[in-house]
């Protein structure tokens, strides 16, 4: 698959590395932007305050699967939107999913070493979910569907729980959602 990442930092660069290892062709875009017309999927991994500027500098997003990995660490969501993903949807015209915002980029290099794949929550528009689940899986995680794009705010807020657990002494962690009998 041809994938474009908007953002070359820990999340964008880390996932690009994992996807290249899985055999995908990845185009890495930074603050200078670029054209993603050839990509089948696009990852947005920039600070929440940079979403508007980042998307403004990228062409070819219309109708693409766009995976929003952004988080809000402080302040309000732009434009009164319920979630960052809703804001991304309005700006991009893409088929949007929310994923990778609930997992730690600092642990990407340890995903494949786990006894079972850690979970990664995702949600999104139907047109984006199959590709998103595939890319979650190919990054080494077990994709866990959390519903439609209206669930994006819940995933954005889930990070607060994860950070509270880490700050209370456990540190950065993986998580796993499983049906009874699977653990």
Q: What value does the mean pLDDT of the chain take?
A: 96
Instruction: Determine the Cα–Cα distance for residues 150 and 133; give it in Å rounded to an integer.
Output: 17
Distance between the two ends of the chain, CA-based, in angstroms?
32
What's the pLDDT tens digit per position in 31-83?
899 999 999 999 999 999 999 999 999 999 999 999 999 998 878 888 889 99
Closest by CA position to 56, among listed 39, 37, 33, 24: 33
The beta-strand segments (E) located in the chain are 2-6, 25-29, 34-35, 41-44, 58-59, 65-68, 95-99, 119-124, 142-145
pTM score above 0.75: yes
Give the pLDDT of residue 80: 85
């Amino acid at each position: 698959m041809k994938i474009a990442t908007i953002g070359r930092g820990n999340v964008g660069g880390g996932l690009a590395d994992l996807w290249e290892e899985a055999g995908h062709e990845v185009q890495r875009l930074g603050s200078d932007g670029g054209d993603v017309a050839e990509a089948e999927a696009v990852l947005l991994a920039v600070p929440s305050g940079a979403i508007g500027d980042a998307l403004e500098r990228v062409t070819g997003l219309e109708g693409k699967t766009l995976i929003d990995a952004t988080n809000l660490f402080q302040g309000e969501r732009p434009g009164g939107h319920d979630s960052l993903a809703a804001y991304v949807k309005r700006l991009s015209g893409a088929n949007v999913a929310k994923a990778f915002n609930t997992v730690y980029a600092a642990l990407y290099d340890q995903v494949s070493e786990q006894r079972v794949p850690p979970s990664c929550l995702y949600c999104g528009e139907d047109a984006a979910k199959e590709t998103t689940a595939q890319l979650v899986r190919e990054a080494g995680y077990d994709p866990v569907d959390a519903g439609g794009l209206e669930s994006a705010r819940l995933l954005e807020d889930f990070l607060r729980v994860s950070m509270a657990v880490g700050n209370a002494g456990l540190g950065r962690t993986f998580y796993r959602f499983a049906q009874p009998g699977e653990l």
